[in-house]
């Protein structure tokens, strides 16, 4: 038996069995979720229909909740509040006539790997009914967040798709909705279509936002690049969340030696889905054409000095205080590297005079060290 356990073929077999079990568990979990949401949809439809046909009003929900909890004491989800949420969810999505008329079995009939229509511009009735099948494949809590915070079905469907694609937690979903991701996605000015092959150029463009929201930083109105960079590194987790799924941090002020000269990249990342390095440069002023030239140099240097044969071409992202899109387009048309330019926003800043009155970390540490030294001297006396 010991020989079998150590055998490489057995280890491979065991790995395959584990993967099969995990796959079955995932499919079972997805199926359970679909069945649960199908039940919620049907319950809500019956409640809404009865309320429309009678004068029972909200008293109907209270009565149903009490009776269901008595009849099914071991089942959760039949509270008055949850039944109200079911109704809200159903009403939000069934506002389309094409949805209201379809059996729930047709709405949730697609698998989790189905391809849903792109959400650009107005959706046809068929597109909406097809895309809404996705709502049965995300958790109930995510569904409630989406219909509670989104104003339109198109906006809501965007977040449903993003949740499915990136497997967002509920907290991440809330952050993305509240920061207005739907209005910032694919807005950056880039030259990706002419500098990258089609599959990567589309994905790279979808990766960028414009503007990036840095409201999690405490900066003065007249902050410089170093202050911005320091703050982003102090809040690296939040920064990575704002950048989006797939970014892995490589280094800050990343040193490159070119022909005996030293150069330092503001921030260097690796993107797991794009399979490429990403050079990020920060500017606290309005975009200038020369910024594109400098970033082009850094991207080229990373391609030649760091990139391996397995990596896709490096891309550059310039995040600046403001920009003129026409000027950016002209500047990017003359550079060889794939580069995207976005703005950043900070809606809450500290008064500049306040910064001078606040001690730095170094000053606080020095003060504490001096205090400790004074106490030790007093003890000796």
The class (CATH top level) of 189-357 is: alpha beta
Q: Averaged over 253-277, what is the pLDDT? A: 95
Residue 221 has a pLDDT of 77
Q: Where are the alpha helices (DSSP H) in 57-215?
A: 59-71, 80-93, 97-100, 104-107, 125-131, 140-149, 153-166, 170-178, 181-184, 192-195, 198-207
pLDDT (tens digit per residue) in 183-222: 888 789 999 999 999 888 999 998 999 999 998 888 887 8
Segments in the chain forming alpha helices (H): 2-6, 8-53, 59-71, 80-93, 97-100, 104-107, 125-131, 140-149, 153-166, 170-178, 181-184, 192-195, 198-207, 225-234, 236-243, 289-305, 325-332, 352-357, 361-380
Q: What is the pLDDT of residue 353?
A: 53
User: What is the pLDDT, as a whole number, of residue 49?
Assistant: 87
Per DSSP bridges, beta strands 276-286 and 315-322 are: parallel
Q: How are beta strands 261-271 and 247-258 bridged, if at all? A: antiparallel
Q: Which of 36-40, 52-56, 58-62, 132-136 has the lowest mean pLDDT?
A: 52-56
Q: Over 90: is that where the pLDDT of 377 sits?
A: no
- Ranking 3-17, 224-238, 313-327, 337-351 by mean pLDDT, the lowest is 3-17
Q: How confident is the model at residue 16 (pLDDT cuts 50, 70, 90)?
A: confident
Asked if omega into 211 is within 30° of 0 (cis), the reply is yes
For the chain, the domains span 2-183, 189-357
Between 321 and 351, residue with greater pLDDT? 321
Q: Is residue 305 pLDDT above 90, yes or no?
A: yes
Which tokens in the block code for residue 198? 């089609």
If pLDDT is split at 50, 70 and 90, which confidence band does 369 have?
A: low
Q: Which residue shows structure tokens 């599959």? A: 199
What confidence category does residue 8 fall into, taking pLDDT thresholds of 50, 70 and 90? confident
Listed in sequence order, the residues at least 6 apart from 352 whose beta carbon sits closer than 8 Å to its beta carbon are 220, 221, 222
Residue 114 — very low, low, confident or very high, per pLDDT cuts 50/70/90?
A: very low
Using the predicted structure, report yes or no on whether residue 119 has a pLDDT greater than 90: no
CA 219 to chain centre: 23
Per-residue model confidence (pLDDT) at position 113: 40
Mean pLDDT to the nearest integer, 168-191:
90
H or E element: which one contains 333?
none
Task: State residue 159's pLDDT score.
Answer: 94
pLDDT of residue 318: 96
| pLDDT of the residue at 105 | 57
Question: What is the pTM (predicted TM-score) of this model?
Answer: 0.68
Range among 41-55, 69-83, 287-301 with highest mean pLDDT value = 287-301
Question: Of the given ranges (4-13, 89-98, 159-168, 226-235), which has the lowest mean pLDDT?
Answer: 4-13
Q: What is the mean pLDDT of the chain?
A: 82
Q: What is the 3-state secondary structure (H, E, C) of 226-237?
A: HHHHHHHHHCHH
SS3 state at 342: strand
Contact 280, 319 (CB under 8 A): yes
DSSP state of 273: T
pLDDT at 64 over 80: yes
* Whole-number pLDDT of residue 199: 85
Q: What would the two tokens of residue 336 be? A: 């060889």
Any idea which of 10-24, 146-160, 208-222, 258-272 has the lowest mean pLDDT? 10-24
pLDDT for the residue numbered 22 = 74
């Amino acid at each position: 038996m010991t020989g079998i356990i150590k055998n490489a073929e057995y280890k491979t077999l065991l790995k395959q069995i584990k993967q099969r079990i995990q796959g079955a568990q995932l499919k079972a979990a997805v199926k359970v979720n679909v069945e649960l949401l199908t039940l919620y949809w049907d319950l809500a439809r019956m409640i809404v229909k009865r309320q429309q046909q009678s004068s029972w009003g909200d008293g109907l929900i209270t009565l149903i909740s009490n009776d269901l909890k008595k009849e099914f004491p071991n089942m959760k989800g039949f509270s008055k509040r949850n039944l109200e949420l079911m109704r809200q969810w159903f009403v939000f999505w069934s506002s389309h006539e094409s949805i209201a008329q379809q059996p729930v079995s047709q709405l949730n009939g697609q698998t989790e790997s189905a391809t849903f229509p792109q959400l650009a511009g107005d959706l046809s009735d068929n597109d909406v009914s097809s895309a809404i099948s996705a709502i049965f494949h995300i958790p109930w809590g995510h569904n409630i967040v989406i219909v509670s915070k989104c104003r339109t079905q198109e906006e809501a469907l965007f977040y449903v798709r993003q949740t499915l694609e990136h497997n967002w937690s509920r907290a991440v979903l809330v952050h993305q909705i509240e920061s207005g991701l739907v209005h910032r996605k694919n807005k950056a000015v880039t030259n990706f279509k002419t500098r990258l092959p089609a599959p990567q150029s589309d994905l790279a463009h979808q990766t960028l936002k414009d503007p990036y929201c840095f409201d999690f930083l405490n900066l003065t109105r007249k902050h410089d690049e170093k202050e911005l960079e320091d703050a982003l590194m102090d809040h690296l987790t939040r920064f990575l969340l704002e950048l989006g799924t797939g970014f892995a941090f490589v280094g800050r002020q990343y040193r490159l030696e070119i022909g005996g000269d030293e150069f330092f990249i503001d921030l260097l990342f690796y993107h797991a889905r794009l399979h490429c390095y990403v050079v990020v440069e920060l500017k606290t002023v309005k975009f200038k054409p020369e910024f594109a030239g400098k970033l082009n140099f850094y991207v080229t240097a990373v391609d030649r000095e760091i990139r391996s044969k397995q990596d896709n071409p490096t891309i550059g992202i310039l995040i600046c205080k403001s920009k003129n899109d026409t000027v950016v387009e002209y500047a990017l048309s003359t550079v060889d590297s794939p580069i995207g330019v976005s703005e950043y926003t900070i809606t809450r800043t500290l008064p500049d005079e306040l910064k001078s009155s606040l001690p730095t970390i170094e000053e606080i540490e020095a003060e504490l060290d001096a205090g400790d030294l004074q106490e030790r001297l007093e003890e000796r006396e």
